[in-house]
Structure 1
C-alpha cells in the first residue's frame, strides 16, 4: 500500500468536504420566519397563495395558511423540503406556554399536527386566518 497515495486521497476528500460546507450544501436548511415559509409554500404548491405563515421553534417544520381551511405543511425531507396541502384543516388547540404557543391542527380526520411557534403574534394571526 502506498501511504502517499492514501494521504493524498484523504486530503482531497477533506478539501471537498470543506468546500461543500462553505457553500452550504447538504443537510436541511432551517426556515427563518413566516415570510420564508410563505415563499417556500408558494414555490412548492402550484396555485397556492399564502397569507400567514408560522415556523416551529426549532426551525424545521412550518405551516402556511391561504384562507379558511386551506393549509400547507412544510416538512424537511433530507436536504429539501416537502409541502403538503390540506383543504379542510382546522385549529384544535392554541395554547400559550413559556416556550411559545402550542398549536394543534387537525389536517384531516384522524390526523393531527402539533407545532410550537415562538412568535405569539404570528400564531394568533395564523389561527384567526385558518378559522
Structure 2
C-alpha cells in the first residue's frame, strides 16, 4: 500500500468536503425567522400570501398562515424544502413547554402536525391568525 497515495486521497476528500460546506451544499438550509418562512412559502406556493410564520426550534420545519384555516407547511426534502398548502387547517392545541411553545395542528381529518416554536409571541400570533 502506498501511504502517500492514501494520504493524498484523504486530503482531497477533506478539501472537497470543506468546499461543499462553504458553498452551503448538502442539506436543507436552516430557517431562522418567521419572515424567512413566509418568503419561502410565497416562493414555493403559487398565489399564497403569508401573514404569520413560525419556525421549529431545529430550524428545519416551518408553518405559515395566510388567513383563517389557510396554512402552508414547510419541510426539508433533501437539499431543498417542500411546501404543502392546507385550506382547512385548525389549531388543536397550543401550550408552553420547557423548550418552547408546542403547537398541534389538524391539517386534514386524521392528519396531525406538531411543531415546537421557541418564539412565544410568534406562536400566539400564529394561532390567533389561523383561528
Query: 2:53 aligns to what?
Result: 53
What root-mean-square deviation, in Å, do the aligned CA atoms of Structure 1 and Structure 2 show?
Answer: 1.4
Structure-2 residue corresponding to 1:81? 81
Q: Which residue of 2 aligns with 1:70?
A: 70
How many pairs were matched up?
131
Query: d(CA) in 2 for partners of 1:21 and 1:39?
Result: 24
Equivalents in 2 of 1:126, 1:8: separation in Å? 53
Aligned to 1:39: 39
Q: Distance in 1 between matches of 2:17 and 2:97?
A: 41
SS at match of 1:71: strand
Q: Quote how far apart the aligned CAs of 1:13 are.
A: 2.4
Note the C-alpha offset of 1:7: 3.9
Q: For 2:15 and 2:102, how far apart are their aligned partners in 1?
A: 43
The residue number in structure 1 matching 2:103 is: 103
Correspondence for 2:11: 11
Unaligned 5+ segments in structure 2 are none
Name stretches of at least 5 consecutive residues in structure 1 with no aligned partner: none
**Runs of 4+ deviating beyond 2 Å:** 1-14
Are 1:30 and 2:4 counterparts?
Answer: no
- d(CA) in 2 for partners of 1:60 and 1:103? 16
User: Could you tell me which residue of structure 2 aligns to residue 91 of structure 1?
Assistant: 91
1:97 and 1:17 map into 2 onto residues whose CA distance is 38
By how many angstroms is 1:6 displaced? 4.4
TM-score normalised to the size of structure 2? Answer: 0.92
